[in-house]
Amino acid sequence: MAEVSNPGVSQAALDAQIPKPASAMPPAVSDTGAKGGDVAQYALADHTHASRVRRIRAQSDASGLVVWTFNPPFDVGVVPVVTGQAETAAGVTDVVNVQVEGTPTNTTANLRVTRTNRSTVALLGLTILSLPASPGQTWVHGVASSNQ
Q: How many Å apart are CA 70 and CA 77, to the nearest integer?
A: 14
> Is the same domain home to 20 and 81?
no
8 A C-beta contact, residue 116 and residue 133? yes
> Is the same domain home to 64 and 97?
yes
State the residue range of the domain holding 102: 53-145
> Is the same domain home to 97 and 138?
yes
pTM above 0.75, yes or no: no
> Is the same domain home to 115 and 125?
yes
Q: What's the mean per-residue pLDDT of the chain?
A: 82
> Is the same domain home to 13 and 46?
yes
What is the percentage of the chain residues whose pLDDT exceeds 70? 78
Can you list the positions of beta strands (E) in 23-125?
53-59, 65-69, 81-87, 95-101, 108-121
> Is the same domain home to 43 and 105?
no
AA identity, residue 62: A
For the chain, the domain total comes to 2
Question: Beta strand pairing status for 65-69 and 81-87?
Answer: unpaired
> Is the same domain home to 128 and 62?
yes
Asked, for residue 2, whether it belongs to a domain, the answer is no
> Is the same domain home to 21 and 80?
no
- The string of pLDDT tens digits covering residues 20-76 is 777 776 666 777 777 777 777 666 667 777 788 999 999 999 999 999 999 999 999
